Amino acid sequence: MDPQQENFDQSVKILLIGDVCVGKTQLIYRYCENKFLNTYLSTIGVNYNEKSIDIEGKKILMKIWDSSGQERFKQYTLSGYKGASAIILVYSINDRGSFNNVITFWTNQIKQYASENVCILLIGNKIDESNRQVARDEGDAFARQFGFLFYETSAKEGTNVTDAFYAIVKQITEKQPIPSAEKQHNPPAEKKQCNIF
């Protein structure tokens, strides 16, 4: 095992995708550093962050990949799907187009490039904004239809950001449990799969 990972029970790769400017980078910045930047600095290619998290006594290393929403960086984003345990699919609640693209474009990208047992979290970000264009129920209904987790967040104010990341890592650990002597006697419950595949 990579020496850097020796102190962890499990390491998980998580990829954030979604349209430009929906707040992928700021969600990561809020989660990892508890900070927020109002200025828009478009992500070039992909960026990589790490954070450790404790889930029910297990130390998990999160490898968080931040992709660009720009089509011209698609090749970099595609490399992020490889080996990803989870995808965080982000739209902005004040940008109807970004939600439409979740439905028409991003879900198909996941279907095409992610592994079949990937965990998916749908995030409607920027709930601090007053000019909402996507109702909470619409995001919730779409997520339910396909078996995704769903949260609405504000990277700006920090609302639900930690809870959303915790929920997706917890789901990964439930789907891909760490083998242990005790568990070998109790086969894991049937894996729940997202029904986009």
Ligand X SMILES: Nc1nc2c(ncn2[C@@H]2O[C@H](COP(=O)(O)OP(=O)(O)OP(=O)(O)O)[C@@H](O)[C@H]2O)c(=O)[nH]1
Which residues of this protein are in contact with ligand X, per CB under 6 A? 20-26, 37-43, 68-69, 125-126, 128-129, 154-156
**Ramachandran angles phi, psi of 149, nearest 5°:** -75, 155
Q: Smallest distance from the beta carbon of 106 to ligand X, in angstroms?
A: 12
Nearer CB in complex with ligand X: 69/139: 69
The option from ligand X, Mg ion, none interacting with 21 (CB < 5 to 8 A, set by class) reads ligand X
Nearer CB in complex with ligand X: 10/23: 23
Rounded Cα–Cα distance for residues 176 and 12 (Å)? 10
Q: Smallest distance from the beta carbon of 165 to ligand X, in angstroms?
A: 14
Nearer CB in complex with ligand X: 136/192: 136
Query: Look-up: residue for tokens 């995001």?
Result: 139
The option from Mg ion, ligand X, none interacting with 88 (CB < 5 to 8 A, set by class) reads none
Q: Smallest distance from the beta carbon of 115 to ligand X, in angstroms?
A: 23
Query: Look-up: residue for tokens 């086969």?
Result: 187
CB atoms within 10 A of CB 128: 14
96, burial (CB in 10 Å: exposed 0-12, middle 13-18, buried 19+) = middle
Nearer CB in complex with Mg ion: 49/176: 49
> Going by DSSP bridges, is the β-strand pair 10-18/86-92 parallel, antiparallel, or unpaired?
parallel
Q: Smallest distance from the beta carbon of 189 to ligand X, in angstroms?
A: 35
- Site residues, Mg ion (CB under 5 A): 24-25, 43
Rounded Cα–Cα distance for residues 5 and 60 (Å)? 9
The option from ligand X, Mg ion, none interacting with 138 (CB < 5 to 8 A, set by class) reads none
The residue type of 36 is F
